Structure 1
Amino acid sequence: MNIVLLEPEDIQSDTWVIHSKRQLQHLREHLDITVGQNLKVGVRNGARYTTEIISINEQEVCIRPISDEAVPAKLPVHLIVALPRPKVLRRLIMDSVTLGVERISLIHSYRVDKSYWQTPFLQQLDNYVTLGLEQAGDTIVPEIHMYKRFKPFVEDVLPSLISKETPSYVAHPYAEQSMPVNIPHACSVVVGPEGGFIPYEVDLLTKNGCQAVSLGNRILRTETSISYILGRLFS
């Protein structure tokens, strides 16, 4: 945790309150906080501050703002990813938020087990987003959308996201074209499930404006490929 992310309702005039049990436990166990100590704090979808601790008790920590700090810039990317296994979903959301993705869409595909859409992890996305923001020192929550039908998403939603200024790349290990490097513009990136998109899905994506691109001859796990792609595109 590199900032404590507060909710807007935690801001009470000049005195702000930290009362989340998870955050309090972290502050006590890892930072050994004391009155007078400075603490980096952000407000969800708001600003980021250096604050001073003014009181501590079992239920809460009270702080006051001292100065503003810059919020890290987002990556201008829309990450479109086939819904992964529930345990992978947690890491994927946290890592994507930490890396600065500004929009995430979870989609269905042939190799996505339909039971994945019933996982309770989908109801806990806000928790994973919070952990990712706190790790990065960010405060701005990315948009997250879910599409349970592949074909309607590709035909009805995806084309509206694509233009000359904002291309869309689908990661496909057998594509002839390589993934671009250090691009100067926004884009969408489409990443398939474990096992990849089936040929029909790749064809439908390319027919609707995506460019099929390869990351090389190694087959990567979903969460590994996302970190690699974002580092490559925005290095």
Structure 2
Amino acid sequence: MVSKKYIKLKLTGKTKDEILEELVEVLNAGGALNDKDEFLKVVKQREATSSTGLEEGIAIPHGKTTAVKIPAVAFGRSEGVDFDSLDGEKSKLFFMIAAPEDATDSHIETLSKLTSKLLDDELRERLEKASTEDEVIAILNEEKSEDKSSKENVIKKDGFVIAVTACPVGIAHTYMAADSLVNKGKELGVEIKVETNGSVGVKNELTPEDIKRATGVIVAADKTIDMDRFA
């Protein structure tokens, strides 16, 4: 979904809207869109719900609509733009996700894999320094092996935590939040199960047995989910 034609290493936009328009143009020029104006409208509607400016200089604007011809991800890099990010810092690395209305499970899984990679500090630093489009693609395609030695040193703690993640569109934040929680669980030695409420439906659904056994619940969502089951 990320190819050289969807990469722009030097974005010129100075505002949030200018960056969005620039990335939409990149996708349109690459042949990913049916209707660039409609796609831009959907992306801006998503931003109005809650900003896709995350922490650590990353922003992941996205939209799921019939205005998208083929699933694609545009990557752009800037010297820093105010993107209403969660940590108040300027955003430098932009990934604009274009998902068709009928996006398949495999499309969503690929996108969730991409967004989870962005939790890696080292990967983000390398993306900031990459000098060519090919280098960007190579970095994103790398598979990182788990550090078993650090995993073995974690002391297993008692208790079991359950969690639910969900966002309005369900193709980026839902899975980043889930991966972040799972990674923190591994780091702390805490057993955790995370249910995702994404655009392809509920995955890894929490069972009544999970809920009964849990010592704590984390809800990371900005859309309505079934809370009665946790009563």
Which TM class, normalised by the smaller chain length? under 0.3
Which structure has the highest strand share of the two? Answer: 1
Flag the structure with more relative contact order, 1 or 2, with Cα contacts below 8 A and sequence separation at least 6: 1
Which structure has the highest helix share of the two? Answer: 2
